[in-house]
Amino acid sequence: MIRHTHEGAKYRGSSVRTMLRLTVLALALHIPPLCGLGGAFAQSIDQIAKSDPLIITGAIGTQNTFYHSSMGNDGRAKLSNTLYANLNISFYGINMPFSFYLSNGTTSWSYPQFSLSMSPSWHDWTLHLGERSMSFSNYVYNSPFYGVGLEYGGHNIRFGAFYGRLKRAISDDPTDPAARSPQYARFGWGFKVGYGTGKNYIDLFVFKAKDRFGSIDEYWQNSIVPQENLAIGVKGRVSLFKHFSLTANAATSLFTYDTRAAGVPDSIIGKWGKLFDAKYTSNSRFAGDAALNYSMRNFNLSLQYKYVQPQYATLGTGYVSNNYSSFGLGTNLSLFRGRVTVNGNFSHQQDNLSGDQLYTTKGLVYNGALNWRVSNSLNLNAAYNGYRQLQTDGLAQVTDSSKVDRLMHSLTSSANYNFQTDELLHGIGVSYNFSKNLDRNILTRGAGDVTTHAIGTNYSLNVDPWEMAFNVAYNHQRSKNSSGNFTTNMWSFGTGRAFLKNKDLHLDASLSYAINEAQGTKTNTFGGFLSSSYSIKEVHQFGLSAGYNNYKQTFTYAENSATTKNWDVNVSFNYSYTFTLLEIKRKVKEK
C-alpha cells in the first residue's frame, strides 16, 4: 500500500512537470497546449484544493414533436425526433464535457477542446496562463488574450502586464467555396499601474498590438490589410471637500490602418518612434469622459461630459462609438427612508466633430422615473422618456425636404397590489403605456406620426388548500398613424397544480383569445395549451404537452367581405435521465 502511494505520487509529479513543460513550450510557439480544458477554468490554488477529486455525471434523453397546420407546414417537418447524451468528467473542478446529438438522421459529436485557461493566485499575486483577460480602461483594451499575464493588487499599489495572441490567423484554401473570411494573427502586450483606493486613485494603461503580415496566404494578403496600434490611457478619481468628487477616463490611440505603407521619418514623429512604427496611414485620436459628482446621504448629482474623436479605434476594444460629444446631468433622490426614489437624466449629444460630414445630427435625451412603495402590499411606478433628434448644416446646407426633425415621447406607469387572507393570496396589477413619435419636418409634418396607447390588467390567485394557482389577464393596444388605426384586444386565463405526495406531478393549462383589427382586416385567434411533467426520484423527468390554435381572417373591401379559417396543432413528448457514474468527494477534516 505504501509502495502504491509512493508510485502514484511519483507519477503525479511527473505529470505535473510534463504539463508545465508543454505549457511553456506552447506559449513560446503560440500554439494551444495539450493540457487544460476549453471550458472556462480560472481557479486559484486554494479553490483547486477545495474541489472534489473526481465526479462523473451525465444525462440521456429524447425530444419528440409533432406539428401540423391546415395551411401546410411550410417546410417544417411534421415529426421531429431528437436523441441526446451528455457526459461530464470533473477533475478537481476542471470540467470535461462530452455530448452526442442525433436529430432526424443528423448526428453531431462534441468533446472538450483542449487549451490552457487558468489564473492561480497567491496572496496578492495572480498568474494568468492561456486564454484569459485583464481589466483595463474601456478606451484601451477589453478583449481576451492567449498567453501569459501577471497581476499584483496590494492595498494602495497595483500593477499588471500581459503578452499573448489576440487573434488566431484564418487562412483557408482560396479555392474552397466555403472558405472563411481571412484574418491575420494578431499579437499584443499590455501594462498597467495604479495607486490609491476607491476614494482617490490614479491608473495608467499602455497597450500595443500588431498583425503578423506573413501569417496568412499571399492570396488573402491582397484583400485585407495588416494593422498596428498603440494606446495609452489614464483613469482616476479625486475626492473634493466632503461631498464632491471628480472622475476622469481618457486615452490616446496611435492607429496604423496599413503597416505596408511608407514610414514617417523620425524627425516628424519624434520620441514616439521608439514605441510606434508610424506610417503615412497612421493617425492619432483622443477619447475621454469626466464627471463632477455631488453625494449626500439621500441625494446624488452628477455633471458628465464625453468626447470621442472621429475614427477613434484600438485593436484591443473592437468597435468604439466615435465622432460624438455629449454633455449631461443626472440625479437620484431617496425620500422617506427609501420608500420613494426619484431619478432623472438629461443629456445633449452631437456628431460631426471634425466638420467634414454633409450634415450634423444633434440629440436631446431626457428621462425621469418615480418609484413609491406605499406599503408592503402596494407599489407604484411611473417613468417618462423623451428624445429630440434634429439635423443641422454641415458641409452641405439642410433643406426643408430632407431635414430630419423628430420628437419622441414615452410614458409608462404601473400599480401592483398584493394581499393575503388565511387561505388565499391575491395579486392585482394595472399598467398603462403611452408613446408618441412626431415628425416635425415642415413639408412632411404628420405623415410619419405614430401614437400608441396600451392598457394591461391582471389578477392572480393562489389557493393554499387546493395547492392551486389561477391567473386572468386582459390587454388592449391601439396605434394610430396616417394610414389608419390598429387595435388589439387579448384575454388569457391560466391555471396550474401539483399532485402526489412529493408534488412530483405538475399539470398546467392556459387559454387565450385575441381580436386584431387593421385596415379593414379582422383576425380572431383562439389558442389552448396543456402541459404535464412527472418526476421519479428526481432523476427521471417526463414531459408531455399539446397546443392548438384556431385563427380566422375577415377581409372587407367596399361592401364585400371574405373569411378564411385555419388551424395548427403541436404535440411534444420529452424524457431525460440524469445519473452519476462515479463520485470521489474531498475529505473534510473535522475541527
Q: Output the pLDDT for position 204.
A: 97
Dist. CA 19–CA 41, nearest whole Å: 15
Q: Give the H/E segment covering residue 17.
A: helix 2-29
Provide the 10 A C-beta neighbour count for residue 31. 13
How much of the chain, in percent, has pLDDT values that exceed 70? 88
Place of cell 469626466: 290
**Range with the poorest average pLDDT among 101-115, 408-422, 560-574:** 101-115
Would you report the helix, strand and coil content of the chain in percent, each value rounded to 5?
10, 60, 30
- Counting Cα atoms < 13 Å in the Cβ hemisphere of 205 gives 22
The 10s digit of each residue's pLDDT in 303-359 is 999 999 999 999 999 888 899 999 999 999 999 988 999 999 999 999 999 888 889
- Report helix, strand or coil for 479: strand
Place of cell 398603462: 432
The 10s digit of each residue's pLDDT in 35-56 is 334 444 444 455 666 778 899 9
Distances (CA, A) of 341 to 217, 381, 385, 432: 60, 10, 17, 20
Q: Output the pLDDT for position 9.
A: 38
Dist. CA 278–CA 265, nearest whole Å: 8
| Residue-averaged pLDDT of the chain | 86
Q: Is the dihedral of CA 517, 520, 521, 523 positive or negative?
A: positive
Judged against a pLDDT cut of 50, whether residue 30 lies above it is answered with no
Q: Output the pLDDT for position 28.
A: 37
Q: Output the pLDDT for position 17.
A: 41
Q: Output the pLDDT for position 20.
A: 37
- Report helix, strand or coil for 24: helix
What mean pLDDT is predicted for residues 286-300? 94
Q: Output the pLDDT for position 3.
A: 39
CA angle at 313 for the pair 308 and 319, rounded to the nearest 5°? 95
Dist. CA 280–CA 274, nearest whole Å: 17
Dist. CA 163–CA 184, nearest whole Å: 17
Report the candidate in 188, 191, 121 with the shortest Cα–Cα distance to residue 158: 191
491: DSSP letter: E
Dist. CA 129–CA 29, nearest whole Å: 14
CA angle at 319 for the pair 318 and 322, rounded to the nearest 5°? 140
Name the more confident of 458 and 104. Answer: 458
Going by C-beta distance under 8 Å and a sequence separation of 6 or more, which residues neighbour residue 136? Answer: 142, 190, 192, 205, 207, 233, 316
Dist. CA 433–CA 406, nearest whole Å: 20
Place of cell 494606446: 231
Going by C-beta distance under 8 Å and a sequence separation of 6 or more, which residues neighbour residue 585? Answer: 52, 53
The 10s digit of each residue's pLDDT in 494-545 is 999 998 888 899 999 999 999 998 877 888 999 999 999 999 988 999 999 9
- Counting Cα atoms < 13 Å in the Cβ hemisphere of 570 gives 12
pTM: 0.75
The model's confidence at residue 436, banded by pLDDT at 50, 70 and 90, is very high
The 10s digit of each residue's pLDDT in 543-556 is 999 999 998 877 66
Q: Output the pLDDT for position 241.
A: 87
CA dihedral of 197, 198, 201, 203, whole degrees rounded to 10: 100
> Do 201 and 218 contact (CB within 8 A), yes or no?
no
Q: Output the pLDDT for position 564.
A: 82
The 10s digit of each residue's pLDDT in 67-125 is 998 887 776 778 899 999 999 988 877 778 889 988 886 777 877 766 667 888 888 99
Judged against a pLDDT cut of 60, whether residue 22 lies above it is answered with no
In terms of Cβ atoms closer than 10 Å to its own Cβ (0-12, 13-18, 19+), residue 590 is exposed
The amino acid that residue 120 corresponds to is P
The model's confidence at residue 149, banded by pLDDT at 50, 70 and 90, is very high
The 10s digit of each residue's pLDDT in 222-266 is 889 999 999 999 999 999 888 999 999 999 999 999 999 998 887
Dist. CA 212–CA 228, nearest whole Å: 9
Going by C-beta distance under 8 Å and a sequence separation of 6 or more, which residues neighbour residue 561? Answer: 554, 555
Going by C-beta distance under 8 Å and a sequence separation of 6 or more, which residues neighbour residue 242? Answer: none
| Domain spans of the chain, in order of start | 1-34, 119-322
The model's confidence at residue 23, banded by pLDDT at 50, 70 and 90, is very low
